[in-house]
Chain A
């Protein structure tokens, strides 16, 4: 279709339509000026060299020259996406979709751009359309699954991840995220299994170790969890989140001293890490270092004035520091911030 079109343009532009018979066969394959295509191809080359700004200018020229150049709109959208110009990217994808409504890639691209804009509902729909146009394109299912996961619709997310795995049985990310959906649904054994499969398919996807550890913790498999954290930390000693996780596992295993050490390590890597401060406060409470615990909880609250858990914990700490007024105020604040237990703690402790 396109080829024929080009041929026609070529003849009319060159002005040989009438004399085609004398211009030999070779002449019939001749292209038109193809200025738009030249710009377009130059844009593609520049895009591939990551010269996005220059690529953008080329695609601009291509579109200027040829207003119905669908691929140019599409690629300009992709370029704008790279330049984080998500709004204009969506505009271009709109044009591309209008010109080529069955191009699944345009739907997919627009989904990504909408997602980047935070228009998750629109993105979800576009991923859905992509999956409809091309059911064997696993990323469409996968990313829709992620959006549904983030909405808290874990069951629907689970179904999408399963569809992604069906489309691409070696899709480690889809296994990983399905593991997470299982975990959110309370199916820890299934979660552990999916994380393990993700790791088997893609051993470098080590975030799966951390998540598998967390799932094992919820299975009360402290030993297994610690093994995963240790495996992860054997490779990455610079991730405060991993130390935070292992600290939790150690805490749950009753090893408060080692837990506090891990939280300290997390804080070394990420000074002012509010979660680590809060957790270390909890460990110090257990270790009966009440003053140190209070200082940590206070520091966590300084980092995040809405940190309900830190208020709750500081309430416990202040109770032990014989500061009932302070404890009551903290429990109440925790309750105000959404931890209901704060109220009952205050009531049980005779707060007035």
Chain B
């Protein structure tokens, strides 16, 4: 990896374990099918998607006003509101609040924003224990790995991996990898943490400008139990989490779980509008590059994302390359357009981790034009000169060939005559990177042009 995260190199590592790759592919496709069943069961599905798109579009166009309205209403409810320009400021605000209450242990529920800000290592460096409480997040935390999916953090692992991890950290029976047994063990382990925590942190699914409250959706009840026991609750949100009205939730709540896991709704949809008795509730509103994305007409729609993960589940590349191959907090199609906003050079290979099949755009509940954005990102990468030299040379050659039709016809003729006669060792030699894990199709006798002429002539 010379100048980028190199998606294809990392993907190759993942794909080397063919059995594991096929399992991963199937497991996610199953989630996609569950999503399809839910979508098909509602005649109004497309109307929900287009309404969600309109609400988000309008909100982003008036974002500053809605943020101010949200802040005003939250403050009047006794919620403390903080603003952070970037990850560094966000982490400092969190640390200052925790220190002011002398917090030693914090229970945290899933928040891609705190992952983005690398909050855990920062707090640990300052002597605060952070316990991720979503089961999947806890598993990857114990293994010292990042989540590989935004909704299913441990989807890259098999139950045997979880079994050995719990054996080591939770003293579970050796060799027992029964999911029920392991889940019960985690329940007991995390109950102690919930009861012993001095503070809780959660993400935010939706922040309602009209009421000044936030909504968090979980199946496990971890954000909910975690935030209702200690006196201190800190919720972190990106600026784009705002929705104007309470009733807008009817659209988003109907779409979110159906798109994410194929459930009609999550087990818990908690609406926080103030602290627990004698407690404090803080909300940190974070920019960290989001206003930059807002300034780009081509990419601002990516801020509509509600982090359901449907585009990951459907993506043929994600399913076969795994979340860790993206090298960014958010993998899959949405991550491949968000990451280059942050650092085009570092993430220059991600827009190419895509077959442009457009399935992501088709399943997106808020109609983000994902494949279109990835197509445009590729052009940015080429314009900035970040394309890998090999790819650059091949494309240059192709451009030249295609702008010389006669030579192109001749080259095609040669290829049709010669390639079928060549031994595999030459066709699939090192130079042919395309053929590394692909087979060439059978070469036809005639070119398309010849076939077309013949067909036209016969009429």
Interaction A to B: no
Q: Which residues of B line the A interface, CB within 8 A?
A: none
Q: Which residues of A line the B interface, CB within 8 A?
A: none
